């Protein structure tokens, strides 16, 4: 089994509705997103998945969030834009684009600082 992993970043603001603490106020993060996909095999030239393809798909997805107030986006109208919810959303959206053949998204990690991150994956 091969794991292919890329890391991307974006900046955004959010506030957590109903949270008792400083995070109920508007604040920002420089998010670090790590996407890991798996493949049990390689293609004819020895590549499981071209990094360029994965980066392009993830960059396209993250453009929706970059330099935005996540709390104001329709996708977070009914839920808080927590790192947990963001990780699940990115996982599910990138899975729709990438899963197929031998490729399957394995996990998505969302770091909102150098010392705090959450990872989302779904059991097989």
77: pLDDT strictly greater than 90: yes
At residue 1, the 3 state secondary structure works out as coil
Q: Please give the model's pTM, rounded to 2 decimal places.
A: 0.93
15: pLDDT strictly greater than 80: yes
Residue 89 burial (CB < 10 Å; 0-12/13-18/19+)? buried
Per-residue pLDDT averaged across 61-90, rounded? 96
Residue-wise pLDDT tens digits, 51-64: 999 999 999 999 99
Domains contained in the chain, CATH given: 2-120 (3.30.479.10)
CA distance 72 to 8: 22
Per-residue pLDDT averaged across 12-31, rounded? 91
Res 21: pLDDT:
86
Res 23: pLDDT:
82
């Amino acid at each position: 089994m091969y794991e292919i992993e890329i890391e991307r970043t974006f900046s955004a603001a959010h506030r957590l509705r109903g949270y008792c603490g400083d995070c109920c106020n508007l604040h920002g993060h420089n998010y670090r997103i790590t996407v890991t996909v798996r493949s049990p095999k390689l293609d004819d030239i020895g590549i499981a998945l071209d990094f360029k393809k994965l980066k392009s798909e993830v960059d396209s997805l993250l453009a929706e969030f970059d330099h935005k107030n996540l709390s104001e986006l329709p996708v977070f109208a009914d839920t808080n834009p927590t790192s947990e919810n963001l990780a699940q959303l990115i996982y599910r959206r990138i899975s729709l684009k990438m899963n197929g053949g031998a490729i399957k998204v394995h996990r998505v990690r969302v770091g909102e600082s150098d010392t705090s991150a959450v990872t989302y994956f779904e059991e097989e």
